[in-house]
Amino acid sequence: MKHEWPIVLSHGDVVLRPLSRRDGRQWQQLRRGNVEWLREWEATLPLPDPTIPADYRAMIRSQTKDARAGRAIALGMEVRGVLVGQITLGGLSWGSLRSGYVGYWISRRSAGQGVTPLAVAMLCDYAFDHMQLHRVEINVRPENQSSLRVVAKLGFRFEGTRRGYLHINGDWRDHLSYAMLVAERPSGGLVRHLKDMSVSDRRAE
């Protein structure tokens, strides 16, 4: 396992950092204000699970424990000092596999502003460069057009459909699986790739 904890990643106005107890009120307000917005996309529990943290403080303790053990890295997504969502590099496997998956959520107010693809790019660059992962995957519901645009923009490769992959909003939902190997990453990294795409788009206008 090769990563440090805690970590803080930043690029421009976007900062990815571990959540703390001090973020509790802001995080809870953000979640309450986006219940309907996130309902269609977030994993739910088909049966009660005592291992799931019961409250915010328990969640922070669990995330810290997982990060230090090399199981998952969960970071708050901040824009100009304001919390707008979370991103996780989970399912970390080491040894001969060296892989993980990225999951995220963002508030409705901050969606569509380029924050999510940048956050994913930042975390993936960290995973490849500092953690020396070989593979990162992202699983997306076919109906989630916003996340499909994220994987397309970053150049993730489609690998297939996972039937009944996650329980979401009362049922088992299919997901489309996308992946990137470190050897497939654009030269200079994903953050640089996004910046170059933005420059190209402006020139084409």
Q: What is the CATH number of the domain that holds 164?
A: 3.40.630.30
Q: How many CA atoms lie within 13 A of 5 on its CB side?
A: 17
pLDDT tens by residue, 166-204: 999 999 999 999 999 999 999 999 999 999 988 766 655
Q: Is residue 157 part of a domain?
A: yes
Whole-structure pTM over 0.85, yes or no?
A: yes
Q: Is residue 45 part of a domain?
A: yes
Q: Is residue 130 part of a domain?
A: yes
Q: Is residue 4 part of a domain?
A: no
Q: Is residue 75 part of a domain?
A: yes
Q: Is residue 3 part of a domain?
A: no
Domain count, the chain: 1
Q: Which residue has the higher pLDDT, 52 or 21?
A: 21
Q: Is residue 2 part of a domain?
A: no
Q: Is residue 186 part of a domain?
A: yes
Range(s) of the domain holding residue 60: 9-204
- pLDDT at residue 53 in the model: 84
- pLDDT at residue 202 in the model: 60
- Outline where DSSP puts E strands in the chain: 9-11, 14-17, 73-79, 82-93, 99-106, 135-140, 157-168, 171-181
pLDDT tens by residue, 105-153: 999 999 999 999 999 999 999 999 999 999 999 999 999 999 999 999 9
pLDDT tens by residue, 63-97: 999 999 999 999 999 999 999 999 999 999 999 99
